[in-house]
């Protein structure tokens, strides 16, 4: 039984990490990217993925609620995330070049 309990613990940990990754990925995408990809809004996905993460933390893997959260996380990862990444800039905020200063790009003193 200890081996089975260890396996369930590892499975629960994997589901929690998977949900946390999806939540952080959704949080760092731009709001307008969700509308441009014709998906639900960013707050919708943050709430759904946040609930999935909380359910994974509270309930064990043998409950049906983490399975529902897993389905929502899989939908985000296989449908929404690729649509956001296909947009120009990958749906991420524009941070500019690493050589950009406060007044624009650095041109080497020319």
CA–CA gap between residue 72 and residue 19 (Å, rounded) = 9
39: closest CA among 74, 80, 90? 80
pLDDT tens for the chain, residues 1 to 110 = 788 888 888 999 999 999 999 999 999 988 888 888 888 899 999 999 999 999 999 987 778 888 999 999 999 999 999 998 888 876 666 655 555 556 666 666 65
What region does 70 belong to: left with phi over 0, alpha with psi -120 to 50, or beta? alpha
Q: What is this structure's pTM?
A: 0.77
Angle, vertex CA 97, rays to CA 94 and CA 102, nearest 5: 90
């Amino acid at each position: 039984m200890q081996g089975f309990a260890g396996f369930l613990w590892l499975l629960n940990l994997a589901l929690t990490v998977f949900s946390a990754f999806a939540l952080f990925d959704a949080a760092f995408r731009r709001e307008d990217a969700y509308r441009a990809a014709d998906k639900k809004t960013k707050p919708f996905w943050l709430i759904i993925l946040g609930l999935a993460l909380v359910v994974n933390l509270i309930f064990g893997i043998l409950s049906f609620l983490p399975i529902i959260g897993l389905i929502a996380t899989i939908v985000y990862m296989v449908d929404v995330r690729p649509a956001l990444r296909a947009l120009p800039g990958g749906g991420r905020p524009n941070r500019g070049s690493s050589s950009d200063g406060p007044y624009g790009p650095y041109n080497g003193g020319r």
